[in-house]
Copies of this chain bind each other. A is one copy, B any other.
Amino acid sequence: MPTIQDVARHAGVSRSTVSYALSGKRSISRETQERIGAAIAELGFTPNAGARALATSQTMVIGLFVQFFEDEFSPAMLQYVLPISDAAREAGYDILMVTEADGPHAVQRILSSGMVDGVILLNVAHEDPRLPVMRKMKQPGAMVGLPRNPEGFDVFDLDFAEAGKILVDHLAERGHREVILITPRQHVYERGGAYAWRFRDAALQQAASYGIRVRSYYGQTQQPAVNDQLNQILDAREESAIIVHNDAMIAALPSVLYSRGVGVPDDVSVVGMFSEDFGRLFSLPYTAVETSPDKLGRLAVQALVQRMAGPPGATAPGVELIAPHITDRGSTR
């Protein structure tokens, strides 16, 4: 690979001149500009990323830390990753994707070696062990998922409490007095997936205020347990409506309902929590709160890019809970 030195020689100028021609940080005469351009084209020169990182302490790489929990439904994660990757590229950054099981260790390793200029954390838990590590590092961090203490980071998440209320309201308005609530797996609550109880607490409270009786189940995430449990729940059903906050359960619901000959919304009303893409993927005909993974991912990238590029003390990082929005697909009555 040719170096900047080769280009300089070829164009008959010094290394610094080539560098300035490339960055435009000092003025260069038209003809020198052209000679350098020709040399670069002819030699096929591209600046070496490592050298540039060393000199500028900027890598133009964002670390994307993804945790794949076995208690969650994997296709859902991809909905965040892709928009983030695209948004990052649009802003001139590449993505170092880290799926290491030991999150805190991975954060430590990647950040202290200076491989990335900033970090996006997905699937952040209430007491996420990655956060204390992040705080010791100089790179900024943005995240999707609300931790107990978000201080110092740009945090984006859906307003799950509001989402819970909206769905309960939706059913209450239609006269439902008894509903089933299917939540994420119990293990999600235990390891601190805060979105789970933010949603459930708000839904239960709102239901209570209407005098609606709620029976709630921790849902499964792996087949064949998912289908078995759905059948059990439906066997025991007395309620007229179901709220599903569990990707795997709602993805499997249509076929289980079909097989039992249960019609929606004629026999039972169903509402859920999923993105439009997810709904299309699994042909889900249910009214749902849009979870907007693409929007959250892009917001995180934007905030991070601003913080990496901009002056240090621009604005204090903060939490943004985006307002949930219901998409009525006519699955309630």
Contacts and interface: CB of A to CB of B under 8 A. Distances in A.
Interface residues of A, number: 54
A67 B64 CA distance: 18
Interface stretch (A5-13, A28-36, A91-99, A267-275): A91-99
Interface string A141-164: 000000000000000000000000
A112 B283 contact: no
A282 B253 CA distance: 11
Contacts of A61: 96, 115
A19 to B, nearest CB: 15
Contact of A54 (B54, B109, B112, B227): B54
A276 to B, nearest CB: 11
A49 interface: yes
B48 A54 contact: yes
Given A48-B54, A115-B94, A100 B89 contact: yes
Nearest to A277: B74
A59 B110 CA distance: 12
A78 interface: yes
A1 to B, nearest CB: 6
Nearest to A258: B258
Contacts of A251: 282
A129 interface: no
B96 A226 contact: no
Contact of A78 (B74, B110, B254): B74
Contact of A74 (B52, B227, B258, B281): B281
Interface in A60-114: 61, 64, 68, 73-75, 77-78, 82, 85-86, 89, 94-100, 108-110, 112-114
Interface of A: 1, 44, 46-54, 59, 61, 64, 68, 73-75, 77-78, 82, 85-86, 89, 94-100, 108-110, 112-115, 138, 222-224, 226-227, 251-252, 254-255, 258-259, 280-283
13 contacts: A49-B50, A49-B115, A50-B50, A50-B53, A51-B54, A53-B53, A61-B96, A64-B97, A73-B281, A75-B281, A96-B96, A223-B281, A251-B282
